[in-house]
A and B are shown apart, each in its own frame.
Chain A
Amino acid sequence: MNFEVYNRELCVETIRIIGVASSSVVLVGDTQSIQQAATFDTPPESLIIGPFVPLTAEGR
């Protein structure tokens, strides 16, 4: 595939963003490559109703 890009005038007044999170990118400029990955796991077993049980401690 041949991809031809003509970068003409690019003029922006205001960019207003509440949040940039979880591997997001705000880029004002040029780049060759961007690679982003995000996983978010909240399975049914992560909803625990009952007496509080501590999570497994570090290094165990």
Chain B
Amino acid sequence: MLPRTSQIENIRVKIASYSSVVQLGDSCIINSFSRALAVQRQADTFYGNEGNFGIHRVFSELIPLPIITENLTIRQHYLNPVIKVKNIDIIGVSSASLLHVGNTQHVSVEVRVKHVRQLLPRDEEPDTSLMIGDRKK
């Protein structure tokens, strides 16, 4: 097997965060994992010691992977051994994602997110009548 070469002229990435990978060049194994408790509160309140992954099932439950039962034979012919890309422009790479330029063998990524929203009771809602773009007034 003759692997291909990747040729990129320009790469622009603004942010790479939370277990993300920007890899230029070949690699063998990439394993990335991220878990997050995403909390939205209607008003700014920070307690500083919150969050326990252990009590949420989403962080421990098994994610089933499809089992390959079929016998598969892959034959690849590399008639042109170069992949050419002129520009790559990405704003953000986040949460165990990756941008990889070059060959690799095995990639495995996993993300688990628990999203919680906390809203104020109706009578305590902040006055939004002055917000820009609010047409209800």
Contacts and interface: CB of A to CB of B under 8 A. Distances in A.
Interface of A: 1-42, 46-60
A55 B50 contact: yes
A41 B77 contact: no
B110 A37 contact: yes
B92 A12 contact: no
Interface of B: 3-4, 6, 8, 20, 26, 32, 34, 37, 39, 41, 43, 45, 47, 49-52, 55-58, 61, 63, 65, 70-80, 82-122
Nearest to B53: A58
Contacts, number: 234
Contacts of A54: 47, 49-50
Given A35-B107, A37-B65, A41-B58, 12 more contacts: A7-B76, A12-B83, A15-B85, A19-B92, A21-B97, A38-B112, A39-B112, A39-B113, A42-B116, A55-B50, A56-B50, A56-B52
Among the interface residues A19, A35, A39, which one has the most CB atoms of the partner chain B within 10 A? A39
> Lowest 4 A-B CB distances belong to which pairs?
A42-B115, A41-B58, A23-B109, A55-B50
A38 B110 contact: yes
A48 B113 contact: no
A55 B76 contact: no
A21 B94 contact: yes
Given A40-B115, A41-B115, A21 B95 contact: yes
B98 A30 contact: no
Given A4-B75, A28-B6, A39-B111, A52 B43 contact: yes
Nearest to B80: A9
B70 A28 contact: no
A3 B75 contact: yes
Given A10-B83, A11-B84, A26-B100, A20 B52 contact: no
